[in-house]
Amino acid sequence: MKYKALFSILFAVSATVVIVVGATRFAGCQKRSTAAVPQKIIASQPEDTNAVVSKDALNAAVADSSLEPRDGEFDGKKIVKTDAEWKKILTPDQYYILREAGTERAFTGKYADNHEHGVYYCAACGQALFKSETKFESGTGWPSFYQPIYAKNVTEREDNTLGEARTEILCSRCGSHLGHVFDDGPKPTGLRYCMNSAALTFVKK
């Protein structure tokens, strides 16, 4: 009986650990607890030179003439490329996230703590996606915004890959995966666009 009781205790502890680890692994990909109150970033922090590139650098990153960076609202002209063509343009990490809908680990992306003022572009095609004024601290470890720069610059798609209905966010110009959007963000929209750093390119303004 003594061993049976000990086994029951060890089994309960193991199950708890599995549940906690599993919840931690996907916390940023799912809706947050309502107890978490996001705070918008107000003060700028020291510049992280690894996270900020110039406009010329952005142009160089999308040297293909069809991928010229765009600051305005999406004009409806989509960019279509084969997997082989995207692999020539993107790094392995970018390809995994942008074209295969992968997710970078929380707190590892270079823009999670970027507090500089500027614009975030799609790393695949250079379309403007978010302004720094709409970025806020979500505590998830991923860059979070409460609205896109233009509604037409992103598109939504239902995603059931984790056993629950989520809303995937893609670049409307090239169809690349950016992240997901949830309804637990701050005012004025109440939305949290949870993005992958590798899917973005930041230009300081």
**194 is known as an active-site residue:** yes
Choice among 29, 125, 171, 194 that is catalytic: 194
Q: Please list the residues that pair with 192 across neighbouring strands.
A: 182
Describe the chain by its helix, strand, coil percentages, rounded to 5.
30, 20, 50
Q: Provide CB contacts within 8 A for 137, sequence distance 6+.
A: 38, 39, 40, 41, 144
Q: Provide CB contacts within 8 A for 94, sequence distance 6+.
A: 123, 124, 198, 199
Q: Give the whole-angstrom CA distance, residue 71 versus residue 1.
A: 71
Q: Provide CB contacts within 8 A for 140, sequence distance 6+.
A: 27, 28, 32, 106, 194
Show the CA angle centred on residue 61, arms to residues 57 and 64, nearest 5°. 130
Q: With the CA atoms of 41, 42, 45 and 47 taken in that order, what torsion angle do they form, in degrees rounded to the nearest 10?
A: 80
163 Ramachandran zone, left/alpha/beta (phi>0; psi -120 to 50): left
- Which residues are catalytic, by number? 194
